[in-house]
Structure 1
């Protein structure tokens, strides 16, 4: 088996990686279109989204078939510089160990000491990570919304019930400068979202970081659509954001939804999400589905999504331990 940096693949090797990714797509989300070549190239080239640097590798069997894709995420936030995230798709016991050894080598070379592994919460994945000494620290419910199945009358009711002392501001692709401070405030309020037992520091962002994140997503073909709830003075009350996937709009993403503490309990989340649904229905008819993920412990947001029409699809898990423990676990496996 060969492990190759994803940015160094030749055309044949890339085609093998694409075939693997599309097979994973079909198994996980049979109702959605599979990842096209341009989207996968954008993922492999990405080195900036989520306020992280990214490195990806592909494992090829002797016959040239791709058997796994590995990803190491290196946090750029000053308070998380010893943390690395790793993902192996699929987490097959026969190949995951070799991929993990390479990802850990890269993480150690970058000065990382703690590792969060994430991926589908399957019995095989759980056994693999706990067998190496990691603990399950967080679970996330993945869900999907069929846009045409949403009740338009319910959405109209949510919009009509919105607070009269606030206004909604819609923006597309890049946030207007007059609203960037409000967007930064909502991004930092996302630190209140549950992370359960993960050992991870809050990421505090500024305007430059938020602008860079928008540009990095755009480079991958993921265009922001935002709704900001603001006061008469332009102060942030909340936001909801969607990434329209230009490579396959049918598989777009509902991203952050947050209400700032001073405004919680006023059904602002429903108001923003309903307004976003109306806007997408009118301006983005190719967005057939929205995917999203929420902490399994976040009962409030899960209830809103369920009421709106999101249907659970699968669970994701995050397993965490220190890098030394994982390396020792790999050594025991031989």
Structure 2
């Protein structure tokens, strides 16, 4: 008897469906990334039910003959100017249900949807040397960027750079949404992210304004996450910033979000100063957080050097893969 898999769209995320999705993601993480802490059910549920910034998400479940959810896929469709061509794939198959064409059928559904949405490119991340990387290569995805993932032990981080401000600069901090009097300067500084290394990825550009930075903070707040920002002011100009997110219910690890220094203010040690000040802030305000995770493109040698000076150490590697949606897959 043939093995039949049913692929169905998930238009409404019930508690039961979220739990099934989480079970697949958690089992895949534990199997494919030994030692990595999988996301909690609360974190997965928040991701599935909270709208993303300038994007929307399509979801599918793959169900086996016994009614069990064997795989899940999500396709994020970006809608902001400069990124309307892009889609981002998230796909997991339960380790006990692999080698049954589940992943290929989920991918086929996602590719069809991307074509309908007139997307040019589909990108996704897979761990170096893992089954996800082999899957991507077997389905005509092209490796376009390598990420180095790093971990920092907060207790032993070298924060001496935070002891004195570079001449002419002042430190400001906030939690959640940027204060009104800093919003315009912060939005301008955010646009410095557009020169980060993206390898051969068809990434496009993100354009930040006051409403968009506020919208990003709302997305994180709706998920129950805590957003911490430390920034450098030079007069009325925001010269740089760094962001940390503590996910809802997280007891141990914080995630590094954006860090950027405006081009005109580079060469003054602002990146190191800001990140060291953030570590000191974490120690004071969130003593239960013991480590920070970040990732840098392999080509981003400057930020890698800053992170290594602070005490970050390489944890693992992953690769960004990209598919020409119109060309299709095998």
- Alignment partner, residue 2 of structure 1: 6
Are residues 1:268 and 2:265 paired? no
Q: Distance in 2 between matches of 1:257 and 1:231?
A: 17
Q: Distance in 1 between matches of 2:307 and 2:301?
A: 10
Correspondent of 1:15 among 13, 19, 26: 19
Q: Distance in 2 between matches of 1:249 and 1:125?
A: 28
The question of whether the paired residues in 1 share the 8 Å contact of 2:224 and 2:247 is answered with yes
* Counterparts of residues 240-255 of structure 1 (less than 5 Å): 240-255=242-257
Deviation at residue 7 of structure 1 after TM alignment: 4.7
Correspondent of 2:72 among 69, 72, 81: 69
Q: What is the TM-score of this pair, normalised by structure 2?
A: 0.89
Deviation at residue 12 of structure 1 after TM alignment: 4.2
How large is the RMSD of aligned CA atoms in angstroms? Answer: 2.1
Q: Distance in 1 between matches of 2:29 and 2:239?
A: 37
Q: Distance in 2 between matches of 1:182 and 1:275?
A: 20
In structure 2, do the counterparts of structure 1 residues 274 and 194 end up closer, same or farther at CA, with 3 Å as the change threshold?
same
Q: Distance in 2 between matches of 1:29 and 1:251?
A: 16
Deviation at residue 46 of structure 1 after TM alignment: 2.7
Are residues 1:134 and 2:141 paired? yes
Q: How many residues align?
A: 321
- Alignment partner, residue 308 of structure 2: 306
SS of equivalent residue, structure 2 residue 326:
helix
The question of whether the paired residues in 2 share the 8 Å contact of 1:47 and 1:55 is answered with no
Deviation at residue 237 of structure 1 after TM alignment: 0.5
Q: Distance in 1 between matches of 2:81 and 2:193?
A: 18
- Alignment partner, residue 127 of structure 2: 120
In structure 2, do the counterparts of structure 1 residues 29 and 292 end up closer, same or farther at CA, with 3 Å as the change threshold?
farther
Q: Distance in 1 between matches of 2:227 and 2:276?
A: 17
Deviation at residue 298 of structure 1 after TM alignment: 0.8
Q: Distance in 2 between matches of 1:313 and 1:269?
A: 21
After superposition, the C-alpha distances for 1:66-120 in whole angstroms (9 at most, x for unaligned) are: 3322121111122221221212125966322111111122222222122223232
Q: Distance in 2 between matches of 1:46 and 1:121?
A: 29
SS of equivalent residue, structure 1 residue 56:
strand
In structure 2, do the counterparts of structure 1 residues 61 and 290 end up closer, same or farther at CA, with 3 Å as the change threshold?
farther
- Alignment partner, residue 208 of structure 1: 211
Q: What is the TM-score of this pair, normalised by structure 1?
A: 0.88
